[in-house]
Amino acid sequence: MIAERIKLYSYWRSSAAYRVRIALNLKGLNYDLVPVHLTSDGGEQHHDTFHSLNPQELLPVLVDGERIVRQSLAIIEYLEEAYEGERKLLPTTVRERARARALAQIVACDIHPLGNLRVLQYLEREFNTPQVERERWAQHWITEGFIAFESLLADNPSTGLFCEGDEPTLADICLVPQVYNAQRWSIDLKRFPSIQRINAECLKLEAFVRARPENQPDAPKA
């Protein structure tokens, strides 16, 4: 029997789904991408079919046979534990893994949720927050998070070509999509030289390039 391919429910511009695409690519795993449009027809994530898959109505969702895994960090750790793959997504030692996870969580737990689509939609819907103020909101929280992230990278002996050492890890997988978000919100990254350098290093790798939003099948065509 041929094993069923992994399915990833994704949206081209979702940074959480972007993380998982990078992880799948780094592992060298084949997968089928199932687009879920977050703004079309009231947001396809709110439709009954997807709601039954994820009651939170959030992306990404990974389906691996009978297993359904939700939340991007949980999915990435699942891939690390379930598949040997081409690369490790977490470093070898306990200390290194803890640092990689901590850096990843700055993005996934502290920066990203405050600028998520549903938060910005809520600000507009419930408080009539103008677009310019929603932009300032997103810019503020990304900048605050990047100030801390940069300080943890700069002059730290654990920082190498990548966030933790000389191989990409969970930390880089989370950082690159957040840099994409920062650029979307027109944040000047010159004050974050370590972040810029590591982002550029990551984008030399095919796994990161193939995961980029503009390279997804559901991305708007030019």
Give the neighbor-by-neighbor strand order of the sheet with 61-64. 31-35, 6-10, 61-64, 67-70
Query: Could you give phi then psi for residue 31, rounded to 5 degrees?
Result: -155, 155
Selection from 155, 213, 146 nearest residue 11 by Cα: 213
The per-residue pLDDT for 2 is: 46
CATH class (in words) of the domain with range 6-87: alpha beta
Mean pLDDT of 45-52: 95
Boundaries of every domain in the chain: 6-87, 94-208
Q: Specify the CATH number of the domain 94-208.
A: 1.20.1050.10
How would you classify the pairing of strands 67-70 and 61-64? antiparallel
> Residues in the chain, how many?
222
Amino acid at 92: T
Give start and end residues of each alpha helix (H) in 161-222.
170-184, 193-202, 206-211
The answer, yes or no, to whether residue 34 has pLDDT greater than 60, is: yes
The answer, yes or no, to whether residue 38 has pLDDT greater than 50, is: yes
Mean pLDDT in the chain? Answer: 95
For 96-143, how does the pLDDT look when each residue is reduced to its tens digit (9 = 90+)?
Answer: 999 999 999 999 999 999 999 999 999 999 999 999 999 999 999 999
For 169-183, how does the pLDDT look when each residue is reduced to its tens digit (9 = 90+)?
Answer: 999 999 999 999 999
For 76-95, how does the pLDDT look when each residue is reduced to its tens digit (9 = 90+)?
Answer: 999 999 999 889 999 999 99
Instruction: Give the range among 27-31, 41-45, 188-192 with minimum mean pLDDT.
Output: 41-45
The per-residue pLDDT for 87 is: 94
Mean pLDDT of 200-212: 98
180 burial (CB, 10 Å; 0-12 / 13-18 / 19+) is middle
Strand residue runs (E) in the chain: 6-10, 31-35, 61-64, 67-70
User: 221 pLDDT band (50/70/90 cuts)?
Assistant: confident
Radius of gyration of the chain (CA): 17
The per-residue pLDDT for 155 is: 85
For 140-161, how does the pLDDT look when each residue is reduced to its tens digit (9 = 90+)?
Answer: 999 999 999 999 999 899 999 9
The per-residue pLDDT for 3 is: 56
The answer, yes or no, to whether residue 216 has pLDDT greater than 70, is: yes
Mean pLDDT of 57-70: 97
Query: Could you give phi then psi for residue 54, rounded to 5 degrees?
Result: -145, 100
Q: Give the number of other CB atoms < 10 A from CB of residue 57.
A: 16
The per-residue pLDDT for 220 is: 93
What is d(CA 80, CA 91) in angstroms, rounded to the nearest whole number? 11
